Amino acid sequence: MRIFLLSLISIFLTFVASAQTIERCYELSAPFYNPQLSEELEQYTAEWIKNKPLTSRSKITIPVVVHIVWNKEEDNISDEQVHSQIAALNRDFRLENEDLSIVSSFFENIIGNVGFEFCLATSDPAGNPTTGITRTETRFTNVGAEASSNIYYTDEGGKDAWDTERYLNIWVAETGMALGHASRPGENIAEEDGVVVHTKCFGTIGTVQPPYNLGRTTTHEIGHYFNLLHLNGSSSSCEDDDMVLDTPNQMTNYLGCPDINTFSCGTQDLISNYMNWVDDACMAMFTQGQVDRMHAALNGARSGLLENTACLPTSTSQSMESKVSIFPNPARDFVYVKNTSDQVQESRYQIFTTKGQKIKEGIFHNNNPLNRISLPFPSGVYLIEYTVDNEKTVKVLLLF
């Protein structure tokens, strides 16, 4: 009898353990908050893909704000970990990742380059200098759980979104049973529009844990944000799909790292696609059809991102941005500012903390293209605003 009871307990514990398995991605099953927008967006998407209007933009920049909402100190991740995630996104969305060799040769001809460049905003909605990172201590555990809206509101223990039409808001926190979740255009109300990612899989350094340590959870969720679905659509049926022509229908979302020559629905499955649920090391590409769908979303429901200059202050000259550099960076005690523009008799600098507090300023009364600034400050992240003839540029500086 005792052995029988022990066996039952073992079976029960096994069942509980399997029930606690973390999901790769959580998708809302509720109707869209704005179903009319969803319907209009699908009509627009089909028309946009059909015509593929030419664009004159040589660079598509997506301004990002990362809201770190933490209950345990370990979830108050470092700025460096945040920067590692931005770097991972730029590799994945600009087709600069070095692991394309894992893609089956059957799909080599449909690999797409999204061409998006993500940057942490250097100005907030009020125009103040910022690192594009906010930090909020909360009394709640699992504040980013799928069924909760607390994370989106400061007065509920989370952090209010910045203008969701002009910024891609990413909340990083404990997320319960899913690694992340995101809202497609029209799915959530404006205050809750964005991406939520667990601290353990955000970035490529720090607190990340294998097999979700290459930043691909955020890549996957931003795919949803730009109107991509899972490859199997919303059900485990070969009759359902993701509304992208060049991704074959598949029966289910794959976990782990399956054989790339896996078949279902009569065709080979695209295991290494970012919109599958596989481990980070086993996903490496979007298709050209997915690229088109994301560009349609960016030029439609997400077009406010294109109008935002939050990656540079509104008074910053693009030519000035390219002519001013700071080094070394990261730095310890000092930094040099190099200015290759047509130098005038005077240039100015101001140094701010991440909270916008000015801690140092100065004027260079010469035409020297290389000037030294001493930095008697604690380690951390700072902003240097450099001005010549009313043209400004802002640089992020790391002190160690």
Catalytic annotation, residues? 221
Nearest alpha carbon to residue 184 among 214, 203, 164, 212:
164
Assigned token pair, 355: 């909270």
Residue with structure tokens 């047509």?
342
CA distance 26 to 44: 26
Nearest alpha carbon to residue 325 among 399, 376, 393:
393
Pairing verdict, β 168-173 and 133-137: unpaired
CB atoms < 10 A from the CB of 255, how many?
Answer: 15
CA distance 29 to 247: 23
Helix (H, G, I), strand (E, B) or coil at 300: coil
Assigned token pair, 21: 């398995």
Helix (H, G, I), strand (E, B) or coil at 170: strand
Q: Which helix (H) or strand (E) holds 318?
A: helix 318-323
Q: Which helix (H) or strand (E) holds 324?
A: strand 324-327
328 cis-preceded (ω within 30 degrees of 0): yes
Distances, alpha carbon 149 to alpha carbons 158, 186, 189, 332, in Å: 9, 16, 11, 41
Write the single-letter amino acid at 165. E
> Within the chain, what is the greatest distance between any pair of CA atoms?
93
Assigned token pair, 74: 């370990």
Nearest alpha carbon to residue 161 among 125, 128, 130, 129:
125
